[in-house]
Chain A
């Protein structure tokens, strides 16, 4: 591969690490039943490394806003312990 391809590949892998990071945070928020621990933990070092100061807050805002509208998958449902306003899978989507 030439230098252009390597540069593009590295850039895309770093971007995917961010998407994966936000996804993990969202999963953790669902698992904890949106108790606020994920949303408020904006200055955790590992989170700042992947998402940065603004990105960490944007991720928290996304999770906070998505709380009332997110789809809860069946496998996540058991982890959430039905804490989320008695919504069923697929009730409302965001």
Chain B
């Protein structure tokens, strides 16, 4: 394994005072939340962040100005698998893939998405965007065809419910939704703690609702990644992380809605930012005559970052504040309402909260756009 050695790339070589403070803060947060186990995960993530493989230059990011690693997804996968193996060997735990064929199909789908993203992290543009899109359509199409119990028959929206009553149309709609959601997740992964924050909250809700070990481990690993990502800014989810976690969440979400554990409105609220930002970005690009999937710097997180960057001199603080503000104001608010039990998770009243989130998104975007009034330069190769 070769690791980066010079001090500009590797904070471990000759750590500055700021770097030392970051070590202490990360270690303290990890230790307080998950003890020595959390500290172990942070150490593994630190080791992986120093590898030469999967490194990104600052110029390739829309927001981050640090050289960093895209192997965050690899770290999450390694930690998750290590925990599952340990639990199988040391305790009475039987993984879901063994006890239930639905989970076998679900995790196989997630696994394919992880591999697809991993290939892109190891070598950029190894697979063409169209190839990845086709593979995602095929894998989700196969998953939903072989596991029809994951497809909801009703989501509480009259027109959509009518369409979902036709199995073939329901299958097609759900396949498109899953692929679109993963792309939305990948597109929104543009600021420290944004997608990691949303994912941590989502798995926290799944764990509180179902109490299964897999969700508990994912919540734990994502929280550790969130701490590392927000404090240091050295480590990103990469395509492996955003594809894999996006696939896991969309599958769990669909299953939860299909089984009546959650309302579709609740899931929309919980995952509002990636979905709303994706739709808003596609509309913005079409209105400008660009390709709907052409990367640009017009996302809410890009604009909020510019707002914070004027107020802080640090390179990491505005980036992390952007991610935490958006994840906290979208999924965080949803989690607080859920935890305080103000609205039952099966209620369609969550659509009202989702409507408020969309309104807040549009108002904030409009205010930031009018205050910044700068040109949005299209950037090719930017992740978000």
Contact = CB atoms under 8 A, between A and B. Distances in A.
B35 A55 contact: yes
Interface string B1-20: 10100000000100000000
Given A23-B91, A94-B93, A55 B86 contact: no
A62 B211 contact: yes
B37 A61 contact: no
Interface in A1-56: 2-5, 7-8, 10-23, 26-27, 30, 48-56
Main secondary structure of the interface of B (DSSP, over half): helix
Nearest to A65: B211
Interface in B58-87: 79, 82-83, 86-87
A19 B221 CA distance: 13
B257 interface: no
Chain B interface size band reads 35 or more
Contacts of B86: 15-16, 19-20, 23
Given A4-B47, A93-B99, A61 B211 contact: yes
A72 B211 CA distance: 18
A12 to B, nearest CB: 6
Nearest to B12: A3
Contacts of B36: 14, 17-18, 49-50
A58 interface: yes
Nearest to B78: A12
Nearest to A94: B94
Contacts of A20: 86, 90
A16 B81 CA distance: 12
A54 B34 contact: yes
Interface of B: 1, 3, 12, 30-48, 50-51, 79, 82-83, 86-87, 90-94, 99, 207-208, 211-213, 216, 219-220, 223
Given A23-B90, A55-B35, A94-B213, 18 more contacts: A8-B43, A8-B47, A11-B47, A15-B37, A15-B79, A16-B86, A18-B36, A18-B37, A20-B86, A23-B86, A49-B36, A51-B34, A58-B216, A62-B216, A66-B211, A66-B213, A71-B92, A73-B92
22 contacts: A2-B3, A3-B12, A7-B43, A11-B40, A11-B41, A12-B40, A14-B37, A15-B41, A19-B37, A20-B90, A22-B87, A26-B91, A27-B91, A30-B92, A48-B35, A52-B30, A53-B32, A53-B33, A54-B33, A62-B213, A62-B216, A70-B92
